[in-house]
């Protein structure tokens, strides 16, 4: 999966389009130093993203915006809590 296009929106959000879901606009919001998916517009009911796709989208946008260390730290904390 690759990022086709991303841009800033109002209220400190990012909107992004990915190559595997070209008709879907994914809106990310920043919290605790990293971006996470807030909403999606234009979803095709026949090809909905999986949880793996969501994680991959979050990883790619955080890598693009240099917030990947905060995102990885968040993932490490979640993994420890579920153990």
Per-residue pLDDT tens digits for 19-45: 999 999 999 999 889 999 999 999 888
Separation of first and last alpha carbons in the chain: 29
Q: Give the tens place of pLDDT for each residue, 40-54.
A: 999 888 888 999 999
User: Where in the sequence is the domain holding 26, given as residue range(s)?
Assistant: 3-82
DSSP state of 42: S
- CA proximity to 8, closest of 16, 34, 68, 71: 16
Burial of 47 per CB tally in 10 Å (0-12, 13-18, 19+):
exposed
pTM (predicted TM-score)? 0.84
Q: Please count the structural domains in the chain.
A: 1
pLDDT score, position 73: 86
CA angle 19, 36, 70 (to 5 degrees): 110
């Amino acid at each position: 999966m690759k990022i086709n296009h991303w841009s800033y929106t109002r209220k400190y959000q990012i909107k992004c389009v990915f190559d595997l879901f070209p008709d879907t606009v994914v809106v990310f919001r920043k919290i605790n130093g990293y971006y996470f998916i807030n909403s999606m517009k234009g979803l095709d009911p026949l090809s909905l993203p999986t949880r793996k796709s969501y994680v991959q989208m979050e990883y790619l946008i955080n890598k693009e915006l240099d917030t990947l260390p905060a995102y990885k730290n968040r993932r490490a904390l979640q993994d420890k809590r579920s153990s």
